[in-house]
Structure 1
Amino acid sequence: MQRAVARDPWAALPSLGNLQAYIQAVQHMPLLSPEEERSLGQDLRATGNVQAAGKLVLSHLRLVVSISRQYLGYGLPQGDLIQEGNVGLMKAVKRFDPERQVRLVTYAIHWIKAEIHDFILRNWRIVKLATTKAQRKLFFNLRSMKHDLAADAEAPSSTLTSEQVDFVARDLGVKPDEVREMQMRMGGADVALEASADDSEETAARAPLHFLGDARSEPTRQLEARQREHLGSDLLPAALSRLDERSQRIVQARWLQEHDSGETGGATLHELAAELGISAERVRQIEAAAFKKLRLALADQAA
């Protein structure tokens, strides 16, 4: 008689990439009785049994899905919220003490919410504002409090009145200015940096991303600028000193002389020929020979 092989419940669990299938699967995971939960918890604490931990986690995955729905208003994918909540659930299972006579579901809620809160604060656009415990409390309660206050008001408005701001500030232990700023940031719309595939060329050209970049800060540009600075301030003067006086004059007048406009160079072959009392062709030959010597000198210094 062939022995039945126990199915691995984790293997039957779809990935979060197929969210609806995952949610349906966790809803059918068997729940544990208080006695089963206590036994598994004792086994985990006594022996570190991974299978016992797995059963505790699997039986509470539906709890994570339920809690994640409370945070859909923050614009983050539910799959990501569930994934972070599952991390909190696993932390709760690891620390669960069945001898305290507290069900795991009660203990795990705190850990699941804590991980989801941290994830939202790391990824949402006003993360820099919610830095203290009181500000985090404001962040996660302002939306529901605004809804309740608007429902009680005779003339509902999307913006809190001064009296409502003071009420929220007193209730949550923050300053009224923090309530106003949080309300403003939560009401602001996100702006896409890049144009979408459906935008026209004209619209795409006006996307914010086109105006944010500074070519001067691009790493290769900065490296080139430093190399040019090093070349002009250190290496080039030393290389020029190896040339004779006439060659130096030609190179400087043709390529290194700076004008009031900020541009460099400008002397023509004929102007230098008249100055030095030689032909323009001879000036060109001296210039070509000088450049060969400069390249060799610069290569030696760079090495």
Structure 2
Amino acid sequence: MKEYIEESSNTDSIHCYLREIRQQGLMTAEEEVALGRQVQAGDMDARNTMIVSNLRLVINLAKRYLRHDLPLLDLIEEGNLGLMRAVEKFDPEKGFRFSTYATWWIRQSIERAIMDQARTIRIPVHVMKKISAILRTTRELETILQRTPTPEEIAESIKWPVSEIHEYLKKDVLVTSLDTPISHDDRGSSLADIIPDPSSSTEVALTARDLSSHVHQWVGLMPEKHRQVIFWRFGLDGTDENSLQEIGDRMGVSRDRVRQIQSEALEILRVRIKAEGLTTEMLFE
């Protein structure tokens, strides 16, 4: 993929890269299965087709990790390495869309690069571990909520004070604003001007829909009290999300008991993922 990536992170380089990948069409589920089988049989053309068809997914994921100390094109290149690994490991018989499977590999590759960069600027090990735990919990909640969780939701899930979540989010290397100019010329282009909005990305929408469908199925198989807590807590039934206290009042139990049931339900979800032939890290790490 290096031929698509320039060393410079200027506007022209990003425009050029986006122009290249926009010419590639998305794969249908049937095409993913057929190509996946061909890749397993050693077909290099099928491998390249799967990689090129999913480069836009890498961009939309890389956009979420914009850092002052790691340029966008570096993030994209790291994400592309994860994408290549996903193509090699993808089992088309498992029933997941490729974008759902590849998302974890792409994120893992990008986050490893970010952590490596953090080591070079000497962020303490205990801080890096805290940041890693927050990232892991964030993705776990994203799987259920189908949106980015708030610091308060992360704190509640990980059982840390919300002030601590805010503190470590600030330490997690400065995040670049989408409105920050990325060139010093008079065009004044910003990242928001040239990178597609992930909320409008077909690839991201497919991944979210696939995950949402599976999560609803798995939650539906839980014992009634666990199912109720997950649906009420995270609004999976289309209603508003409820606080632990509100759910406790509805069920006639304490707030702490609801929290315990929620933790048990998330563990049931992890076990179910393993039963489907996946790993919990695929969605939660």
TM-score normalised by structure 1 residue count: 0.44
Greater RCO between the two (CA within 8 Å, min separation 6)?
Answer: 2
Pair member with larger Rg: 1
TM-score normalised by structure 2 residue count: 0.47
